[in-house]
Structure 1
Amino acid sequence: MCEITAHSGCDGTPDNSMEFVRYALASEGNCLEADIRRNRDGELILSHDETAEEAVRLGQVFELLKEKPEKRINCDLKTPGLEIPVYQLAKEYGVEGQLIYSGTVSSFFMKARPEKYPEVRVYWNIENLIPEPDLGRNICMKQMEQVFRTAVRYSAQCINMEYRLFTDRVMELLKTMGLGGSAWTVNDPEIIRSLMEKGIANITTRSLKTAVAVRKEMEG
């Protein structure tokens, strides 16, 4: 059955806050998403944009995460070069096996991952594989197939895309190639249901309670 990731700020909690983290970890979701970058002092923090304000340290989140070994954290990397520092910090807390990466995940990390960082799952953003200008146009199935083949070659678990890109043909191609689909950001219950019926691997949502309720109803 589809996994559910709590988008930062889900169900009215403040984005990238400890309130959100605690809420997501106590929920029936499988994973929580956090935006990761460095602050001016080089510390790994939860923040979508550059900020001088006080921010939650990633280490604080890992401290809570280690008490929930059944949960995962999707670290949405906002700047290049964070893959290894995040992994090293996670290892200090013993939660490296609970990591998922999305965002700016480089092909260099993907090459090294199977041998050096095998615990890390990657939901590889399509923006890393198709030039940004092309994403504003209709992407043909040939492009999709090329993207998916690259993801398979680098052993990614999922392709991470905006939910409207997951057409029936795209879902069929993913299944054929042994890849999962991770859809963001899905808040409408009917769209959540439709994607679950199609066999989507992960849904990232701000409507966490709604998504959990839909999944329960479908599991029946």
Structure 2
Amino acid sequence: MEFVAFFSNKQDVSAIEVDVRMNREHRLVLHHETLEKGQDYVTLEDVFAYIARENSPIRINCDLKEAGLEEAVYELADKYALWPQVELSGTVACSYLAKWSNQILMNIENGMDDALHGEHIGRWGENVLLEALSKLSRSQAKVININHQLFTDAVQERGKQLALEFSLWTVNDLPAIGNYEKENIYNITTKKAWTYIQQKGVQTG
């Protein structure tokens, strides 16, 4: 919760990302890896309650680490009147694009054949990426979530042709963050947000 409290009132940070899973008690909790029995985890409700209490405008990108969590996240966000601030990424079914397209950062692999999902991303050829963009566009995707190393000129150009925006992860090189910011990339996920903001403040101060 520390990072949620820290960034919730930082005007230069527009969104935070949390990894979401469902525990044995059917509560949404924050954790990247598979949950361990007997361990306590911060709940998504704790995060939503804090954001609502602080009246923070920050967006919350819920990276779904398991299938079938979409409705549970929606119901919890709606409980705290935060749904307009919530975005979904990760394991999101394409069927939700029809009603929530503006709030889904659709992982590019969701536009690929299932056989490719287990492949290392470095083995996805550019043609596979371009085909996935076209498929997701037809499914009403608006924003594509993609590793920044796969964001080639060809991918960017196809995105423009299809009127798609991009969410890039995980960009920890400070000059690269600046370059993407100048290109008006929709979302830049980074572990260096505060370092970048401080450096930017020094340069412009």
Q: After TM superposition, list the pairs within 5 Å mapping 1:15-30 onto structure 2.
A: 18-27=1-10, 28-30=12-14
2:45 to 30, 52, 59: 59
> Partner residue of 1:175?
160
Give the TM-score normalised by the residue count of structure 1: 0.80
Give the TM-score normalised by the residue count of structure 2: 0.85
> Partner residue of 1:191?
176
> Partner residue of 1:6?
none
> Partner residue of 1:210?
195
C-alpha change, 1:168 and 1:215, in structure 2 (3 Å) is: farther
1:96-155 deviations in Å (ceiling 9; x for gaps): 1111111000123234xx2xx57x611111222222227332522x43332122222233
Question: Given the alignment of the two structures, is residue 75 of structure 1 paired with residue 62 of structure 2, yes or no?
Answer: yes
Q: How far apart are the structure 2 equivalents of 1:68 and 1:208?
A: 21
Q: How far apart are the structure 2 equivalents of 1:87 and 1:194?
A: 34
- When the two chains are superposed, the root-mean-square deviation of aligned CA atoms in Å is 2.3
> Partner residue of 2:94?
107
Whether contact under 8 Å (1:34, 1:76) holds in the other structure is yes
Which sections of structure 1, spanning at least 5 residues, go unmatched? Answer: 1-17
> Partner residue of 1:9?
none
Quote how far apart the aligned CAs of 1:180 are: 0.8
Whether contact under 8 Å (1:192, 1:214) holds in the other structure is no
Worse overlay, 70-79 or 142-151? 142-151
What is the aligned length? 197
Q: How far apart are the structure 1 equivalents of 2:90 and 2:198?
A: 28
> Partner residue of 2:123?
137
Quote how far apart the aligned CAs of 1:29 are: 0.5
Q: How far apart are the structure 1 equivalents of 2:129 and 2:104?
A: 18
SS at match of 2:88: strand
C-alpha change, 1:204 and 1:218, in structure 2 (3 Å) is: farther
Q: How far apart are the structure 2 equivalents of 1:165 and 1:179?
A: 15
SS at match of 1:73: strand
Worse overlay, 52-61 or 124-133? 124-133
Whether contact under 8 Å (1:171, 1:198) holds in the other structure is no
C-alpha change, 1:84 and 1:215, in structure 2 (3 Å) is: farther
SS at match of 2:21: strand
Q: List structure 1 segments (4+ residues) > 6 angstroms apart after TM superposition.
A: 214-220
1:47 to 31, 40, 47: 31
